[in-house]
Amino acid sequence: MVSIKDVAKEAGVAISTVSKVLNNYPNVSEATRKKVNEVVEKLGFVPNTVAATLSSKRTGRVALLIKLNLSTQASDEINMQYISGAVHKAKELQLDVITVFTSMIEDMTLDEVKNYFRSQGIRGIIIYGLTTKDKILHKLIDCGEFKIVVVDAPMVNENTSSVGVNHAKAQYDIAKKTITENKCKKILYLAGDEDGYVTAERLEGIRKLADEKKLKLTVRNGKFSELRARELTMRFSKNNDCVVCASDIMAIGAMKALIDMDIFRPVCGFDGIILMGYVGKQMNTVKQDFVEISGRAVEELSRLLSGEAGRKVVMKHTLVRIKYEDIIV
Amino acid sequence: MVSIKDVAKEAGVAISTVSKVLNNYPNVSEATRKKVNEVVEKLGFVPNTVAATLSSKRTGRVALLIKLNLSTQASDEINMQYISGAVHKAKELQLDVITVFTSMIEDMTLDEVKNYFRSQGIRGIIIYGLTTKDKILHKLIDCGEFKIVVVDAPMVNENTSSVGVNHAKAQYDIAKKTITENKCKKILYLAGDEDGYVTAERLEGIRKLADEKKLKLTVRNGKFSELRARELTMRFSKNNDCVVCASDIMAIGAMKALIDMDIFRPVCGFDGIILMGYVGKQMNTVKQDFVEISGRAVEELSRLLSGEAGRKVVMKHTLVRIKYEDIIV
DNA sequence: TTGTATGCGTTATCAG
DNA sequence: CTGATAACGCATACAA
pLDDT digits (tens, 9 = 90+) for A245-257: 999 999 999 999 9
- Predicted confidence at residue B221, as pLDDT, reads 97
Across residues B106-122, what is the average pLDDT?
Answer: 94
Give percent above pLDDT 90 in chain B. Answer: 90
Q: Is A252 on the interface with B (CB under 8 A)?
A: yes
pLDDT digits (tens, 9 = 90+) for A68-108: 875 566 789 999 999 999 999 999 988 899 999 999 999 99
Those residues whose C-beta lies under 8 Å from the C-beta of residue A184, and which sit 6 or more positions away, are A178, A215, A241, A242, A266
Domains of chain A: 4-53 (1.10.260.40), 60-164+290-312 (3.40.50.2300), 167-289 (3.40.50.2300)
Q: Is the CB of B3 under 7 A from strand D?
A: yes
- Predicted confidence at residue A73, as pLDDT, reads 63
Do A127 and A162 contact (CB within 8 A), yes or no?
no
What are φ and ψ of residue A309, in 5° steps? -85, 160
Q: For chain B, give the mean pLDDT.
A: 94
Q: Which of B47, B76, B120 sits opposite A80 (nearest CB)?
A: B76
Q: Is A52 on the interface with B (CB under 8 A)?
A: no
pLDDT digits (tens, 9 = 90+) for A257-286: 999 999 999 999 999 999 999 998 999 999
Residue A293 predicted with pLDDT over 90: yes
Q: Is A72 on the interface with B (CB under 8 A)?
A: yes
Q: Which of A1, A73, A111 sits opposite B77 (nearest CB)?
A: A73
pLDDT digits (tens, 9 = 90+) for A102-119: 999 999 999 999 999 999
Other Cβ atoms within 10 Å of B27 Cβ, number: 6
The residue type found at A277 is G
Those residues whose C-beta lies under 8 Å from the C-beta of residue A226, and which sit 6 or more positions away, are A72, A249, A250, A252, A253, B328, B329
pLDDT digits (tens, 9 = 90+) for B16-66: 999 999 999 988 999 999 999 999 999 999 999 999 999 987 777 999 999
Other Cβ atoms within 10 Å of A264 Cβ, number: 13
State the virtual CA torsion across B208, B270, B86, B120 in degrees, nearest 10.
80
- Predicted confidence at residue B328, as pLDDT, reads 85
Residues written for chain A: 329
Record the pTM. 0.95
Cα separation, B93 vs B106, in Å, equals 30
Q: Is the CB of A242 under 7 A from strand C?
A: no
Q: Contacts by A139-144 with C-beta closer than 8 Å and gap 24+?
A: A139/A110, A140/A110, A140/A113, A140/A114, A143/A110, A143/A114
- Predicted confidence at residue B71, as pLDDT, reads 58
